Amino acid sequence: MPLISLADMLKTARAGKFGVGAFNGVDSHYIDAIFDAAKRLSSPIIINVAEVHLKFFELEDMAAYVRYKASASNLPVTLNLDHGLTMPTVMRALEAGFTSVMFDGSHLPYEENVRQTAEVVKLAHARGISVEGELGAVGGDEGGNLEGAADVALYTDTEQAVDYVRSTGIDALAVAIGNSHGKYKGVPKLDFDRLAVLNQRMPVPLVLHGGSGLSVDDFQRSISLGIAKINFFTGMSQAALDAMASGLADDEIARKYDHYLFTMQRVRKGVSEAVAEQMRIFGSVDKASHYAA
């Protein structure tokens, strides 16, 4: 089916009390792996394409491939620009057929974050495209160092979040409640009290970044407290690297002419299994039928 907006994706997720995984597409193997898992488990999916990864591939190539894969399937799929940092990249995504853009102005002074996010909302909504904003700062360094930790001083402030959502018109809000990108330093501890208050006060669905490394209980509690989209990438990368190492070390396939293809087949399977495991935890299995075709 054609791609759907993030607003439509998350409205159904919230009503059905499940979370939808947002998995990063970085090449065709990853995208195939995500679709394999979604088809097998009849799950809705969000494909993330991150601005920090644009040094590795073209945004338009990835968008075309995801659009094709979605149209050839019966799955509800949203294509989201992950951590859009600059206006030119946001514009490219709006032109390339993305159905959602995340604008990450969380590093900006508050007033400037509001001003720039509102501008993105105006441009996106005119095209029927959703916008995710972020307030507070999720720990870690996406696309940078692998290990990260969250800083309590940068957790999302509830009163400011109410003002931010109202002033910008965003469709979903990424919150900072102790979550962190990459691998967690130590055991992650989420501030569920803060999440409960945010959920009560926010008119829009909430988003959790830094999904790799959280426990099943963390995810399920988060979803029960209004998290509808969960970003997951580091765990996929680890699965891909493990599968690649096993393929390279396997004498059986190393003797074959198509050693590379056999190895990448394992990567696709490994990533697909990592994605499927998250779908089960997020409760999105068999939820594709909740979306109108």
Site for Zn ion, residues 100 to 129, rule: CB under 5 A: none
Q: What sign for the dihedral angle of Cα 13, 157, 161, 202?
A: positive
DSSP-assigned letter for residue 51: G
Active site includes 61?
no
Phi first, then psi: what are they for 124, rounded to 5°? -70, -50
Shortest distance in whole angstroms from residue 81 CB to Zn ion: 12
Whether 172 contacts 192, CB under 8 Å:
no
Which amino acid belongs to residue 288? A
Shortest distance in whole angstroms from residue 265 CB to Zn ion: 29
Pick 180 or 263: Cβ nearer Zn ion: 180
- Alpha-carbon distance of 194 to 153, in angstroms, equals 13
Name the nearest CA neighbour of 134 among 63, 85, 73.
85
Pick 194 or 209: Cβ nearer Zn ion: 209
Name the nearest CA neighbour of 130 among 121, 138, 141.
121
What pairs with residue 24 in β-bridges? 48
Pick 2 or 144: Cβ nearer Zn ion: 144
Pick 53 or 209: Cβ nearer Zn ion: 209
Shortest distance in whole angstroms from residue 279 CB to Zn ion: 19
- Alpha-carbon distance of 192 to 196, in angstroms, equals 6
Shortest distance in whole angstroms from residue 286 CB to Zn ion: 27
Q: Give the SS3 label for residue 227.
A: strand
Site string for Zn ion, 191-210 (x = CB under 5 A): ------------------x-
Pick 5 or 48: Cβ nearer Zn ion: 48
Whether 102 contacts 132, CB under 8 Å:
yes
Q: Give the SS3 label for residue 229.
A: strand
Q: Give the SS3 label for residue 78.
A: strand
Residue corresponding to tokens 């087949």: 265
Shortest distance in whole angstroms from residue 166 CB to Zn ion: 23
Would you count residue 229 as binding Zn ion (CB under 5 A)?
Answer: no
Pick 223 or 288: Cβ nearer Zn ion: 223
Of 8, 32, 82, 218, catalytic: 82
Q: Give the SS3 label for residue 201.
A: helix
Instruction: Name the residue with the smallest CB distance to Zn ion.
Output: 209
CA 27 distance to own-chain centroid: 15
Whether 101 contacts 90, CB under 8 Å:
yes
Neighbour count for residue 83 (Cβ, 10 Å) = 26
Q: Which spans of this chain sit near Zn ion (rule: CB under 5 A)? A: 209
Residues with active-site annotation: 82
